[in-house]
Amino acid sequence: MEKQFWEEKWRAQELGFHLPFVHPILKRNLAAFNLPAGATVFLPLCGKTLDIGWLLDQGLRVVGVELSELAVSQLFESLGVRPDVSPWGDGRMWRHGALTVFQGDFFALTADDPGDVAMVYDRAALVALPAAMRERYAAHLATVTARAPQLLITFEYDQNRMDGPPFSVPAEDVERLYGSSHVLECLSRKDVIDNQPAFRERGLDRFEEIAWRLTPC
C-alpha cells in the first residue's frame, strides 16, 4: 500500500484495525513462547496497539516499525511517556525505556535496527498488504529478525465480496510464505463476523480470524 493511503487513514481516524483492548490471542499464547525477561518482541506495522503496553508490562522489550508519524506520536501519548526522538534514515527513531519504534519504511530496516529478536508478533502487518507485496515482506522480515519465532494473525473471507485491507490471507499463502523456513501450527480459527458489523454491511457473512505459531525449522 502507498504511504499516502495509510497517512490519510490515520488523519481521518479510520482505524477499524485498532482494537480498544489487548488482543486475546496475544494474551492466550504469549506464555507458550517461553520468553525470558527483557527479551525483544518485534511488531511490524505496529500502529498504536494497546498490545505494546501489555507486552512492556510483562517485562519484555518491544521494538516496532510504523509508517505513520501520527500513529507513533499517539502511541507514546497513550503510554503517558515522552520519547527521545532521533533521525533514522528517511524517518525517525522514537525511544523510551524498553520501547523503540522506527517510524518510516519497513523495508529500510536492517538486522542491526531491532537487534536480537526473540519473537515476532504480526497482528496487522501481513493482512495489511496486498498479495503482490507479501513475498517481499516475508523475506525482509526473515532477514531483519533472523527468522525468529512468530505469532501471526491472519484473516480468511471471500475477497471477491470485500476489498482489503485487511486482506484475506488463506492458509496456503501462509504455507507458501513461511513453510520453507518455519514449522507452522494453527493455534485457533474462529469466525468473528458477529464482531465486525461494518464487514457484514459490506457483504460478508464469514470473517475468520486465524492464529498461527511459526517455529524456525
Which of 5 and 194 is assigned the larger pLDDT?
194
Q: Which domains does the chain have, with CATH numbers?
A: 3-13+22-216 (3.40.50.150)
pLDDT of residue 185: 98
β-pairing verdict for 40-44 and 117-122: parallel
Asked if residue 143 has pLDDT above 70, the reply is: yes
Which of 121 and 8 is assigned the larger pLDDT?
121
Asked if residue 17 has pLDDT above 70, the reply is: no
Helix axes of 131-145 and 171-178: crossing angle, nearest 10 degrees: 40
Q: pLDDT band at residue 19, thresholds of 50, 70 and 90?
A: confident
Asked if residue 10 has pLDDT above 70, the reply is: no
Instruction: State pLDDT tens for residues 67-98.
Output: 999 999 999 999 999 999 999 999 999 999 99
The C-alpha atoms of residue 16 and residue 198 are separated, in whole angstroms, by 9
